[in-house]
Amino acid sequence: MSLPKLFVVGDSISVGYSPYLQKFTEGIFQFYCRKTGMEEAMKNLDIPLGSNIGDSSMVSNYLDTMLTKSDWRPEIILLNCGLHDIKTINGVIQIPLEDYRCNLKSIIGLLSGKCIHVVWVRTTPVEDEQHNSTQKEFMRFSRDLEKYNAAADEIMNGAGIEMIDLHAFTSKLGKGREIYRDHVHYHPEIEALQAAYIAGFLQTGRTSQQ
């Protein structure tokens, strides 16, 4: 009996926890690699490269392309986008909130009726001082993240999509340099804890019974 295929579609945070998640779900799920891989993404975690899919518009376009491939049919998709959407340069946000909402609805529409179980991962925290004192090319603000997470909550709940609250979980692990290795990415031990939390959800939730 073949294992259910688990495919992760997300940003650089998922790039960080994916190797641990693959290890923790070995023998339970067949872990799909995505796009061109982790090495390319690691060249610059702030830019959508390789496994770092990017903002909600990029995720929508990526899934639209992948669904045209007859050999790409994961049973479960672990899905997230948000951190790239709230990038702000000179007061202009990359993906306005209403566009973000539309993109999420488009993503749900693309995946509906495809026999793919979708699990949404809530976007991880942004600490304004930690982020904006160390990252000068663009800014992020926790107030924006709260609005985008709330919008995603509403949309996913309305569509009956399971959610993993990685935001709340990560918030309990510490603050500042205690958990961040730069402006928004985590130390390896934090990434491992995030992966363990996700793996526990996947193995004990409805996804393991699909």
Break the chain into its structural domains and give their ranges. 5-209
Q: Please, what CATH class does the domain formed by 5-209 belong to? A: alpha beta
pTM for the model stands at 0.92
pLDDT, position 134: 84
Helix axis angle for 188-204 and 12-24, nearest 10°, is 60
Per DSSP, the three-state class of 8 is strand
pLDDT, position 150: 98
Q: Which two tokens stand for residue 37?
A: 């891989």
Per DSSP, the three-state class of 51 is coil
In Å, how far are 8, 147, 162 from 201, measured between CA atoms?
14, 25, 10
Q: Which two tokens stand for residue 59?
A: 């995720």
Q: Which two tokens stand for residue 138?
A: 């663009």
pLDDT, position 209: 45
- The ranges of the chain with pLDDT < 50 are 35, 206, 208-210
Residue 81 neighbours by CB distance under 10 Å:
29
pLDDT, position 200: 96
